[in-house]
Structure 1
């Protein structure tokens, strides 16, 4: 099994604001994924950790998002087929996460 894809995104929002933004952002992402035919199997907060799981075309992806005081850590376990695109997925996740966590 491939190693997990990990993205650390620094922020200066504080833990509560970062979590609030991520909570709102995940609902928007959920709606977009469903329109694209991707099922959201799991989306559950436990404290400052979001556990998620999605599936499409017989591929399942699971991961976590840990919200810290100064950074957010995304860890995703990709199946072998999707692991081939890990670098591209990592770039997109980093870019979108940074946009979501940039002070406004």
Structure 2
């Protein structure tokens, strides 16, 4: 059975700025995830970023729903990775807001 992990990340950026920052930082996502993430595919559906991650030979699905004052992250783990749900939730709580940081690569 799959296991879902959900986290809310509060911000005061507004929806458009939060969406812009997430779009600018999504390429660094594998650096912030535990385990060996081999592949990340993503697409926007309105204000929701749909993710498919290849990790440990498994497919992990994620949604990042950008709201005016928060970001709601849902990660759906396949049965073989459900054991890591607690570690993934802790990592999202600790490092998830890094996706909302200003991209400083142009400085």
The two structures share one fold, judged by TM-score above 0.5: yes
Q: TM-score per shorter chain, which class?
A: 0.7 to 0.9
Query: 8 Å contact 1:15–1:68 — kept in the other structure?
Result: yes
Call closer, same or farther: CA 1:32–1:66 in 2, change over 3 Å: closer
Q: Deviations over 1:41-96 (max 9, x none)?
A: x3001211100101133211011110000110011110122111111111111221
Partner of 2:87: 88
Partner of 1:16: 16
Query: 8 Å contact 2:15–2:66 — kept in the other structure?
Result: yes
CA-CA distance at 1:32 after TM superposition: 8.0
Call closer, same or farther: CA 1:24–1:30 in 2, change over 3 Å: farther
Query: 8 Å contact 1:11–1:102 — kept in the other structure?
Result: no
CA-CA distance at 1:24 after TM superposition: 1.2
Q: Over aligned residues, Cα RMSD in angstroms?
A: 2.3
List runs of 5+ in structure 2 lacking aligned partners.
Answer: 103-107
SS in 1 for 2:2: coil
TM-score (normalised: structure 1)? 0.81
Query: 8 Å contact 1:43–1:50 — kept in the other structure?
Result: yes
TM-score (normalised: structure 2)? 0.79
How many residues get paired?
100
SS in 2 for 1:84: helix
List runs of 5+ in structure 1 lacking aligned partners.
Answer: none
Which range is displaced more, 53-62 or 66-75?
A: 53-62
